[in-house]
A and B are shown apart, each in its own frame.
Chain A
């Protein structure tokens, strides 16, 4: 009984310190920068339009495809158990490849190797929907990129890209998201660029979109040439941003203005 009380007390102290850590963490997710109306929209699973895609992703999860005739569920079982925390780790090094890949690529690897099915179109609705369904299973969990030398190299490359000035406006990611975060760019609050909600339903897009799409948006905004599709730069930046947001809770699938 005393032990139990001690355990409860310790758990209480732990939770309180976690709350303090969150309260003192200067990092703010894009969710916190939104108005209360949009926050409510995201929090209500019957009002968040991304949940429509999650619904479609859940159907894809259970669908038998390819010459192997297997569904995701045939190998992975209940996604709520097997996919818990997965999206919080990616990009990560994954077999059979020896280099980091993002979640979408990981899903397509499963499709081509285990299901013997054609890969889903990169950033197409089907892949985004399945990614959203997988990411939902990590909602509320802290972002936790694995410790890995290959991933660390990629994160370092991403950190360089983040600070590198480019484009006609001669801006770097850091010029807005570090130096001017919280201030206004026209009517919009500049967020700190923590990728906690991807894939996001962006109201401006009227669609679900990936972090890559967001990065392309930013690149065009700073009048730089977006990297070509599948370029290593996107993955490097994504790896760096996830590391930068380490420990922040995932709130995916998010709604953003």
Chain B
């Protein structure tokens, strides 16, 4: 399991805007760099990051090789209902990581 650091509120008022910040450990190898042996190191990046709130997608982004290692993503969404926000990263070499956030909306 990849190392993930997430900063999100535990509670929110209905209709409020909440900020979710997520940091994940990943080399984001571009696929353009030669290694110590002179051969190109194969590309290994996170291709997609998405967030679903009780199954409904609220955020999605495509990542590119130009994004630095250990990508940090921050986004805003409206608090709708109590439940679980699932953050999901997927990428090259079968990389998948998930992080669940429980949030109470009042």
Restricting to B1-56, which residues have a CB under 8 Å from any CB of A?
A: 3, 5-7, 21, 23-25, 28
Known: A206-B69, A206-B70. A46 touches B5 (CB 8 A): yes
Cβ of A47 under 8 Å from chain B: yes
Q: Is the CB of B7 within 8 A of A44?
A: yes
Cβ of A241 under 8 Å from chain B: no
Interface flags for A41-52 (1: CB within 8 Å of B; 0: not) read 000111101011
A238 to B3, CA, bound (A): 30
A44 to B21, CA, bound (A): 11
Cβ of B76 under 8 Å from chain A: no
B25: A residues at CB distance < 8 A: 49, 52-53, 56
Cβ of B58 under 8 Å from chain A: no
Cβ of A11 under 8 Å from chain B: no
Task: Report the interface size for chain A: residues with CB under 8 A from the other chain.
Answer: 13
Q: Is the CB of A52 within 8 A of B3?
A: yes
Cβ of B72 under 8 Å from chain A: yes
Q: Is the CB of B72 within 8 A of A52?
A: no
How many residue pairs bridge A and B at CB < 8 Å?
A: 36
Cβ of A203 under 8 Å from chain B: yes
A53: B residues at CB distance < 8 A: 3, 25
Cβ of A168 under 8 Å from chain B: no
Known: A52-B25, A56-B25. A47 touches B70 (CB 8 A): no
Cβ of A7 under 8 Å from chain B: no
Task: Report the interface size for chain B: residues with CB under 8 A from the other chain.
Answer: 13
Known: A46-B21, A46-B23, A56-B25. A51 touches B69 (CB 8 A): no
Q: Is the CB of A206 within 8 A of B68?
A: yes
Most buried by B among A46, A51, A53: A46
**Partner of A46 from B3, B6, B28, B68 at Cβ < 8 Å:** B6
Give the shortest distance, in Å, between A17 (CB) and chain B (any CB): 37
A152 to B5, CA, bound (A): 41
Q: Is the CB of A46 within 8 A of B69?
A: no
Give the shortest distance, in Å, between A254 (CB) and chain B (any CB): 15
**Partner of A47 from B23, B24, B68 at Cβ < 8 Å:** B23
Give the shortest distance, in Å, between B53 (CB) and chain A (any CB): 19
Most buried by A among B7, B23, B68: B23
B69: A residues at CB distance < 8 A: 206-207
Restricting to B64-90, which residues have a CB under 8 Å from any CB of A?
A: 68-70, 72
Minimal Cβ-Cβ distance residue in A for B8: A46
Q: Is the CB of A56 within 8 A of B3?
A: yes
A56: B residues at CB distance < 8 A: 3, 25
Restricting to A198-216, which residues have a CB under 8 Å from any CB of B?
A: 203, 206-207
- A sample of 10 cross-chain residue pairs with beta-carbon separation below 8 angstroms, ordered by A number, consists of A44-B7, A46-B23, A47-B21, A49-B72, A51-B5, A52-B5, A53-B3, A55-B5, A56-B3, A206-B70
Interface residues of chain B, those whose CB is within 8 Å of chain A, are 3, 5-7, 21, 23-25, 28, 68-70, 72
Minimum-distance CB pairs A-B, first 5: A46-B7, A206-B69, A52-B25, A49-B70, A52-B3
